[in-house]
Amino acid sequence: MRGSVKKRIGVLTGGGDCPGLNAAIRAVTKTAILDYGMEVTGIKDGYVGLVENKYSQLSYEDVSGILAEGGTFLGASNKANPFNYPSASNKSKDLSDLAIDNAKEMGLDGLVCIGGDGTLSVAYRLYKKGLKIVGIPKTIDNDLRATDFTIGFDSAVITATEAIDKLHTTAQSHHRVMVIEVMGRYAGWLALYSGVAGGGDIIIIPEIPYDIKKVCKRVVDRFKHGKRFSIVVVAEGARPKGGRMVVKKVVKDSTDPVRLGGIGNRIAMDVEKCTGLEARVTSLGHLQRGGSPSPFDRMLATRLGTFACGLAARGEFGKMAALKGRDIVAVGLKDAVTSIRRVDPKHPIIKSAISVGTSFAF
């Protein structure tokens, strides 16, 4: 404490939204107030608020009743990078020093950043420049290294699994091949978990480049054996052997400029050409980011949020709260963002899926 002045921490949510963010904000804020007697500043719209001084003080009442709400009431942005900040002249500028100065003017004794690979990579760079930061992992992609699960992943898996369940009935009725494209960027966790849980016949992930001939053979074999429909679950970052990922567009001023999307359409067209069977595509898109967080995500967000607040209160900065087995532990921010966590082709879940007849088309 600085005399009678209370310590103050800030909290922001960056990158794409997902279920569980409000639960994490709630956990950080309530723990700061109840356990440590600290004040909390909510930074609006991710790093935008840090650069443009957009913030508000958060009270206990402000975060009451938001545990089950999806999204983030603070707002988020996946374009606002203080080191490469967009300007009116369309020329990006390095405004990281301004962001740090603004944090000092807000009187922050620490900042809790809730985000994925892009947000926490920026957080680590700001930490190296002197800003006191603690991280909380969130992303529906579940691709952050140094944690077993991230906030938002379980909720997205449930959404994707429910969609696959519903596609089964229409696929059976019309004897079609249903291709469902899910998010995940360069990692196949979301496609793997939802594909196995939803009983997908073929699962295609970035870590295992697919052979379209194997996809078609699986579809035809099922048809010959009386299974006149097939469900193909494909991750947006999937690619054929010797080929490339399908890029939908490039957003230059984003922390992750490449926007993937369209591989589902390509696979459906290829399947129709080589099998003569009708194929339809469903791309879940941002549905996977919406809705109320699952009980698991609410629990995870609460545990990570309270733990991260404790790190900030004790001055243990440059770290991220992470789930390891059943425990919440502190890991280095650097370790979390050095590289993404991808699916091991020998993962036990893949082995189990193959054992029950699922194809990965390799």
Would you name the residues annotated as active-site residues? 141
Please enumerate in sequence order all residues whose Cβ is within 8 A of that of 197, keeping only pairs 6 or more positions apart, or say none: 157, 161, 164
Report how far residue 351's alpha carbon sits from residue 358's, in angstroms, rounded to the nearest whole number: 9
Angle between helices 153-174 and 295-313 (to 10 degrees): 160
Report how far residue 228's alpha carbon sits from residue 170's, in angstroms, rounded to the nearest whole number: 12
Cβ count within 10 A of residue 88: 5
Report how far residue 43's alpha carbon sits from residue 50's, in angstroms, rounded to the nearest whole number: 6
Report how far residue 10's alpha carbon sits from residue 15's, in angstroms, rounded to the nearest whole number: 17
Report the pLDDT value the prediction gives residue 6, as an integer from 0 to 100.
84
Report how far residue 352's alpha carbon sits from residue 348's, in angstroms, rounded to the nearest whole number: 6
Angle between helices 96-105 and 117-128 (to 10 degrees): 80
Contact predicate 181/164, CB 8 Å: no
Cβ count within 10 A of residue 292: 17
Element (H, E) at 233: strand 230-235
Report the pLDDT value the prediction gives residue 110, as an integer from 0 to 100.
97
Report how far residue 281's alpha carbon sits from residue 163's, in angstroms, rounded to the nearest whole number: 12
Element (H, E) at 136: strand 133-137
Report the pLDDT value the prediction gives residue 61, as an integer from 0 to 100.
97
From edge to edge, which strands make up the β-sheet containing 202-204?
A: 202-204, 230-235, 177-182, 279-283
- In one-letter notation, the amino acid at residue 5 is V
Mean pLDDT across 306-325: 98
Report how far residue 267's alpha carbon sits from residue 308's, in angstroms, rounded to the nearest whole number: 43
The string of pLDDT tens digits covering residues 180-237 is: 999 999 999 999 999 999 999 999 999 999 999 999 999 999 999 999 999 999 999 9
- CA 30 and chain centroid, separation: 24
Contact predicate 261/236, CB 8 Å: yes
Report the pLDDT value the prediction gives residue 4, as an integer from 0 to 100.
54
- CA 114 and chain centroid, separation: 11
Report the pLDDT value the prediction gives residue 1, as an integer from 0 to 100.
38
Q: Which CATH architecture has domain 8-151+291-337?
A: 3-Layer(aba) Sandwich (3.40)
The string of pLDDT tens digits covering residues 27-43 is: 999 999 999 999 999 99
Element (H, E) at 282: strand 279-283
250, β-bridge pairs:
258
Q: 253 by DSSP, 3-state: which? A: coil
pLDDT at residue 88 tops 50: yes
Domains 8-151+291-337 and 155-289+344-355 in one fold: yes
pLDDT at residue 292 tops 60: yes
pLDDT at residue 3 tops 60: no
Two structure tokens written together for 93: 């500028």
Report the pLDDT value the prediction gives residue 219, as an integer from 0 to 100.
96
Report how far residue 100's alpha carbon sits from residue 83's, in angstroms, rounded to the nearest whole number: 11
pLDDT class of 250 with cuts at 50, 70, 90 = confident
42, β-bridge pairs:
11, 56
Whole-Å CA distances, 49 to 76, 82, 101, 317: 9, 10, 13, 21
Please enumerate in sequence order all residues whose Cβ is within 8 A of that of 307, keeping only pairs 6 or more positions apart, or say none: 321, 328, 330
pLDDT at residue 2 tops 70: no
Average pLDDT, the chain: 94
Contact predicate 255/122, CB 8 Å: yes
Please enumerate in sequence order all residues whose Cβ is within 8 A of that of 356, keeping only pairs 6 or more positions apart, or say none: none
Whole-Å CA distances, 242 to 92, 161, 210: 35, 30, 9
What is the DSSP secondary-structure string of 169-190?
Answer: HHHHHHT-EEEEEE--TT--HH
- What ranges do the domains of the chain cover? 8-151+291-337, 155-289+344-355
Report how far residue 243's alpha carbon sits from residue 350's, in angstroms, rounded to the nearest whole number: 22
Q: Which CATH architecture has domain 155-289+344-355?
A: 3-Layer(aba) Sandwich (3.40)
The string of pLDDT tens digits covering residues 126-141 is: 999 999 999 999 999 9
pLDDT class of 255 with cuts at 50, 70, 90 = low
